[in-house]
Structure 1
């Protein structure tokens, strides 16, 4: 059985669990990271020297870290994966650029907002930094809003681009923030909420 190392509250672990459920592939999840520790233990470091989560371990012993690399690997090796990761070069590149954009652009402002309001005691919060991050995130979400014109999902059909962004999307709508009216973004979120795997693994209380 496939093993996923990582706590369920990690946005990066959520992506992997979401895809595995979409593929109807059972897995074993082992708590690691955050309060669970384990990521700096020698056996974990042998699998993932970054001390991060998730780490995927296949039944034949192959291990892989970095959530987006895991999504691509699973889609290329597991039955049904091409439904979420197209083979046509331009369609695949379109999906991959949104995956890369999530990490390169959206990840940092969303991380700052999330940590400020969910994982930092109120008395210790850097609200000016959170306000700057919120403004940066809004600018980026407006890019997604424009991308969604005439599309139900980010890269056209539902797939790995939506999985890369979907955890941050849920946090954007759940965090105590002032948000502009972005109707296409809201519609995309509502469509993702119709997917049982998204509701199970991603659209959960923020912790």
Structure 2
């Protein structure tokens, strides 16, 4: 399999982490600015949105990182990362959707301002608003993890933990005063204890 995308992308790292958890061989090609502009015919033929990652599996290709996670988990014959039980599976998909639609959007301004130091994001009111919204969503995650079941959907590690783990990494790497969230901190450190988690949640890839 081939993965098109730069490792500085959190969404690319989701896919790479999953592939490594499953022991699936892959090759990665640098795409995405500033390395390689995806808005060229070659890339747009694979993903008309011009976004990374793209997964290529033989004569099949697809985009959208969380959909790729589901595809890979289904491809893995061990079934380790996506439960077959309907209710547990539903909760995995629930948290994948929440990560993409509820948790990620609030952090945009704060991450650009405080982590990436982008001078175009210097409005303090917008930074504060972004941090407040982000903190509220992380509070939802903290409450879920505080139930003490081990991972986000019970005792077993799933693809939802890959997506949420990388989101936690971005939270802890962004410099601002944060409320204490002990369940989230414990969860994050345990995910970083996994070999693939440690690789894709390093200091150099926030």
Q: TM-score range by the shorter chain?
A: over 0.9
Give the SS at the match of 1:147. Answer: helix
Give the SS at the match of 1:47. Answer: coil
Within-5 A mapping of 1:175-190: 175-190=174-189
Who is 1:68 aligned against?
66
Contact 2:62 2:68 in 1 (8 A): yes
Q: Which runs of 5 or more residues in structure 2 are unaligned?
A: none
Who is 1:51 aligned against?
50
Within-5 A mapping of 1:53-202: 53-58=52-57, 60-80=58-78, 82-122=79-119, 125-148=122-145, 149-156=147-154, 157-202=156-201
Contact 2:7 2:205 in 1 (8 A): no
Question: Structure 1 segments of 4 or more deviating over 4 A?
Answer: none
How many matched pairs? 204
Contact 2:115 2:175 in 1 (8 A): no
Work out the CA distance in 2 between the residues paired with 1:126 and 1:206: 25
Contact 1:110 1:168 in 2 (8 A): no
Q: CA RMSD in A?
A: 1.5
Task: Tell me the TM-score normalised to structure 1 length.
Answer: 0.93
Q: Which runs of 5 or more residues in structure 1 are unaligned?
A: none
Q: Mark the CA change 1:186 to 1:38 in structure 2 (over 3 Å): closer, same or farther.
A: same
Who is 1:204 aligned against?
203
Structure with the bigger percentage of helix: 1
Task: Tell me the TM-score normalised to structure 2 length.
Answer: 0.94
